[in-house]
């Protein structure tokens, strides 16, 4: 019988240990790649302009998002089963804990894509059933993160005065995604109390997420004014602010349309459709302002050597919700300006998604993104010297 050499005897445990470490570094933030990929399919499917070949492209992107979702569920779920102690450290990490909201949103993004484009491949009935399963799981998970993560912040996680960042929105945005994607399921419910309850439930989640998000956005604005930016790879998370803004416009539009399926009284249908415009247009205006600010700060940080990180996925899903929100305004107002704005924003989303996907693939193959453990150290914000333009030491 062959006896392993000392090198082989040592390398086997080391390789096993390395695999465990790598799995430990695949945290909930990786689900942002599913969100960012899936929103490319959803935004393309709901675009208010016709583009030859776009339907086939969005279907292919949805398949990719679904495949990514399955892979991440296996990897992250397997890590929780094999190394629950290590996995639980993510929930105690002041930076990582917030990204547990990404998994529920990833589920609902793939589910919505199934209804919008997946039916071409798997059939309409199966696509709707799949969406119901993913929406139910995502909604339950999202409501859990919307309560549990803020509770941890209130009671256990130590937070610095300059700690507010876009990631704080991640646990409270999922109910808004539930509201928007739930509207897609309303027409497939039988008329009656169930459909009406679903509609009002979606509006309740709309309010839950919107008010919580507005509080956090105010804290982010305050931090930027008082302390400045970090000048690090955390800067792209400023784009997450677009998420609740764009998704709320999308939800208001889709729920207004879904109300016309007989879920509520005719008079309420008109009011809900009016709300889609009265609410959506002002919020869209603030979203445009935020795009200008976030883009300026991102370019400024890039010019100073900002490295690639998974936070770059913050440039995809939130922008995608701005596209879907703009498409809803185009549908409700019938204005060409919103159609053009939606098309332009989608081109920007597509180019950004291609860039971030390529960089993520390269970083994963090289191991750069898999070998760095999530840091729990606070990220400090600071302003530059107004005279020299340099960051203070």
Per-residue pLDDT tens for 123-166? Answer: 999 999 999 999 999 999 999 999 999 999 999 888 888 899 99
Question: How many other C-beta atoms are found inside a 10 Å radius of the C-beta of residue 46?
Answer: 24
Return d(Cα 285, Cα 276) in angstroms, integer.
14
Contact between residue 338 and residue 48 where contact means Cβ atoms under 8 Å apart: yes
Closest CA to 317 of 254, 242, 251: 242
pLDDT at position 365: 86
Domains by residue range for the chain, with CATH:
26-366 (1.50.10.150)
* Mean model confidence pLDDT for the chain: 89
User: Could you give the C-alpha distances from 237 to 159, 300, 316, 369, in angstroms and in order?
Assistant: 17, 14, 11, 17
pLDDT at position 12: 41
Question: How many other C-beta atoms are found inside a 10 Å radius of the C-beta of residue 122?
Answer: 14
169-204 tens-digit pLDDT: 999 999 999 999 999 999 999 999 999 999 999 999
Alpha helices in 228-316 (DSSP H): 242-259, 266-303
Could you report the average pLDDT of every consecutive run of 10 residues in the chain (393 residues)? 42 47 75 98 96 96 98 86 74 86 98 97 97 98 97 90 93 98 96 94 98 98 92 90 98 96 87 97 99 96 91 96 98 98 98 97 84 59 61 41
Helix, strand, coil percentages, rounded to 5, for the chain: 75, 0, 20
């Amino acid at each position: 019988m062959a006896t392993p050499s000392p090198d082989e005897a040592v390398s086997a445990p080391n390789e096993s240990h390395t695999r465990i470490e790598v799995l430990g570094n695949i945290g909930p933030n990786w689900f942002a790649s599913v969100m960012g990929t899936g929103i490319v399919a959803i935004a393309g499917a709901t675009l208010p302009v016709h583009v030859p070949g776009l339907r086939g492209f969005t279907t292919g992107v949805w398949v990719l998002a679904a495949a990514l979702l399955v892979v991440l569920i296996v990897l992250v779920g397997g890590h929780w089963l094999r190394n629950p102690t290590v996995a639980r450290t993510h929930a105690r990490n002041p930076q990582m804990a917030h990204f547990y909201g990404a998994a529920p949103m990833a589920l609902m993004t793939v589910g919505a894509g199934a209804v919008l484009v997946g039916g071409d491949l798997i059939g309409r009935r199966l696509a709707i059933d799949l969406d119901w399963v993913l929406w139910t799981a995502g909604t339950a998970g999202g409501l859990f993160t919307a309560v549990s993560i803020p509770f941890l912040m209130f009671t256990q996680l130590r937070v610095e005065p300059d700690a507010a960042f876009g990631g704080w929105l991640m646990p409270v945005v999922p109910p808004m995604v539930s509201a928007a994607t739930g509207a897609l399921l309303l027409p497939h419910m039988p008329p009656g109390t169930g459909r009406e309850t679903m509609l009002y439930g979606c509006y309740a989640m709309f309010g839950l997420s919107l008010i919580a998000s507005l509080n956090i956005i105010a804290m982010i604005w305050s931090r930027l004014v008082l302390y400045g930016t970090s000048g690090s790879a955390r800067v792209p998370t400023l784009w997450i602010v677009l998420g609740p803004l764009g998704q709320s416009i999308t939800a208001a539009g889709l729920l207004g349309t879904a109300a016309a399926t007989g879920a509520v009284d005719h008079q309420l249908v008109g009011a809900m459709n009016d709300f889609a415009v009265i609410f959506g247009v002002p919020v869209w205006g603030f979203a445009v302002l935020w795009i200008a600010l976030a883009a300026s700060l991102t370019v400024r940080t890039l010019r100073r050597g900002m490295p690639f990180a998974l936070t770059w996925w913050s440039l995809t899903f939130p922008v995608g919700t701005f596209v879907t929100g703009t498409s809803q305004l185009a549908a409700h107002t019938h204005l060409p300006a919103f159609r053009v704005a939606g098309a332009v924003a989608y081109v920007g989303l597509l180019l950004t998604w291609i860039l971030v996907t390529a960089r993520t693939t390269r970083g994963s193959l090289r191991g750069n993104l898999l070998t760095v453990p999530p840091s729990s150290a606070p990220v400090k914000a600071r302003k530059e010297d107004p005279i020299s333009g340099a960051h203070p030491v």
